[in-house]
Each structure stands twice: as C-alpha cells, then as structure tokens.
Amino acid sequence: MTIYVWGYLREYEKERADILDAVDKVFGSGLLVWGPSVGEFERDFAAYHGVPHCAAVDNGTNALVLALRALGVGPGDEVVTVSNTAAPTVIAIDTVGATPVFVDVHPGTYLMDVAQVESVITERTRCLLPVHLYGQCVDMAPLEALAAKHDLVILEDCAQSHGARHKGRIAGSMGQAGAFSFYPTKVLGAYGHGGATITADPEIDRELRRLRYYGMEESRYYVVQTPGQNSRLDEVHAEILRRKLGRLDDYIAARRLAADRYAGALAGTDVVTPVLAPGNDHVYYVYVVRHPRRDKIIERMKAYDISLNISYPWPVHTMTGFAHLGYAKGSLPVTEEVADEIFSLPMYPSVLGEDQEKVIDALREILATL
C-alpha cells in the first residue's frame, strides 16, 4: 500500500465506532443544520483556547474572509503577510478587496521574518496576518508592538497550528482574531470541510455570526443587517469535530513523537530537519525538511511506494493569478530559495510505527547513494 504524506484510514479504523455514532446522532436528530452540535463545538473550541467566543464556519478560507470583514478590512486596505503559505491565506485577502503585501520568511523556520514587517507598513496598512505555518507560531511580540504603534489589527492564520503554543500562549488567542481550518488533513480535521474563528471581542464575534448567515442576526430571521454569505458549518461535521477535539492533545502528542523519531533518524545526514523557534511548542502539521537534491529524493522515494509532497513548491507571489501584485522573481529571495529545496515527510498521528519505519529506511538508502 502506498504511503502518502497524509492518511486518515488507520485513525478511522480506531475511531470508527465514535465517528459513526456521531453521524447517527445527527442524522437521527432531525436537525442537519442549526442544531445543538455547532453551538456545543463552538463552546468547547473556545474553552480549549481560553477565549470567550468561537464562530464555526464552512471552511478555513471563509474563516479568514469573514474575520477580515468583521475586523473592517476591505478595499483600499493593505494586509501584511507571507508568500510562503497556502494560497487561501492570500485568496482571503483578495476576496475582501484588500491588497496583500508580502515580507520574506526566516531562513531557519520558513515563517514570517517579523524584522521586515515595519519596512512595508504604509498609511494604508490595516492588518498584520501572521501564518503559523507547518505547526509553529510566528514570533508575536514584535508584531504586537507594531500593531500598537501603527494602530493595526492582527489576524492569525491558525489553519496549520491547532494547539500550538508560543511562550505559553495558544495559537489564535494572541491577535484580535484567529482563523482555523478543519480540512481533513489539518491537526484537527473534519470528515469534510470546516473552519472557525475565535476572538475575545464580542463585537467581532457578533459580526462574524451575522456574516456567516447571509448577514442576518441569528435572533431576527430574514432581516439582513450587513450583506454576508452562507458559511455555516454542518451539524454532522460539528459533532465529529466536537468528539475529535477531546482527542486533539493525543493527536499532537503522537505527531511530536513522530517528529522526534524523524529528527533522530536524520541526525548526521545532510537533510535539514525543522528548526524550533524559541518559546514555541510545535504541533507538526507537516514535517518539512530541506535538501538541495529534493526533486531527486522525491522521485526515488516513488520506487519504495512512498509519495511525498511539497508545502509549497510555488510561492504565492510567483503565481500567474497574483502577477498583478507586481512582485518580480527575486523579490522575496529566501521564500524562493526555500521553495526549491523543501519537501514534506509523511506526518499524521498513526504514521508512528510501521509506516514511519518504512519511510526512514527508504530515505536512508536513498541518501547513502545520492
């Protein structure tokens, strides 16, 4: 059986009774949308993060879109983020009519180089959008200082960092809002699409709730206050997510063990393993390593029935769809250099054991004859 960078079937085997019970509970309840599970999940997810509010939505991209809108970010505004991210980070900024502004990434962590942020701030800058990429957090203190100095809001993209901590604080609780995805591959994944935004600000939460429900107040049906969209989370996904949330810390612990195993096995080779930034507790959404002959390694792994991938092979500013932003090749040198050399090893809680040993053995054989 092919080993992919991500798979959920072993996990499903283990949790099947609980998942099917969740499905049966919702399907037999008579309430497929707007039932109790969404509210219960929101309460539990907010509590997990120690914040008062959570609004569940249909996916992570819309969690970002609605959060930006609820924060008042729109046409004419600039949002500072990175090009080394999943395209939806930037799509969300584009969707609300704002302009993405990129800074380069740090050569060790591949996360936002916060030292560069102040140099791109203009009077149109409205929002800083750090992406806690791969499972660890961006250095937040410098961003918080800049936000205070220039009167900006901070929206955290937490799609890859459920449960990650930075100097003791949990991802999503540090900015005005934190947006999450529950796409199946994520650290907390649904059996389909899902997303959520958390915030400590009741006004932001209220606006989020309106915007995900066509723009209508939940208590006043059929009256639109702010034109919004339909971005509600389905009951069945909420119920599954609510149950999986109780196991999130176990998933993270397994990912950390797998990461330790990889780091130990690759010590002494010329594969560069993930660098943990000071004060960070990593959750290893993906296990990103670096090697100058990356393409060759990926190609040769196929002979072992192991299919690797790259997060991400094309920085967003080099994509044709964002050519209008005017970032020439070479404008974000670290981002571009890193994109040519990184690749991801299989990472999911149940990779531990048989799957991971196969990956490590194959990789060692390839490295010995590269």
Ligand X SMILES: *Cc1c(COP(=O)(O)O)cnc(C)c1O
Would you state the structure tokens that stand for residue 38, as one six-digit string?
């969404």
Neighbouring residues of 201: CB distance < 8 A, sequence distance ≥ 6: 53, 176, 177
φ/ψ (deg, to 5) at 246: -65, -15
Between the alpha carbon of residue 148 and those of residues 79, 124, 357, 364, the distances in Å are 15, 15, 48, 49
Task: Give the closest residue to 191 by CA, choosing from 158, 159, 239.
Answer: 239
Angstrom distance (rounded) from CA 259 to CA 356: 10
Catalytic residues: 186
Q: By Cβ distance, which residue is nearest to ligand X? A: 60
Which residues here bind ligand X, judged by CB under 6 A?
59-61, 85-86, 88-89, 131, 157, 159-160, 181, 183, 193, 195
Query: Do the Cβ atoms of 170 and 187 come closer than 8 Å?
Result: no
Report residue 54 as tokens: 């959570």
Query: How far is the C-alpha of 182 from the C-alpha of 187, rounded, in Å?
Result: 8
Distance, in Å, from the CA atom of 209 to the CA atom of 58, rounded to the nearest integer, reads: 12
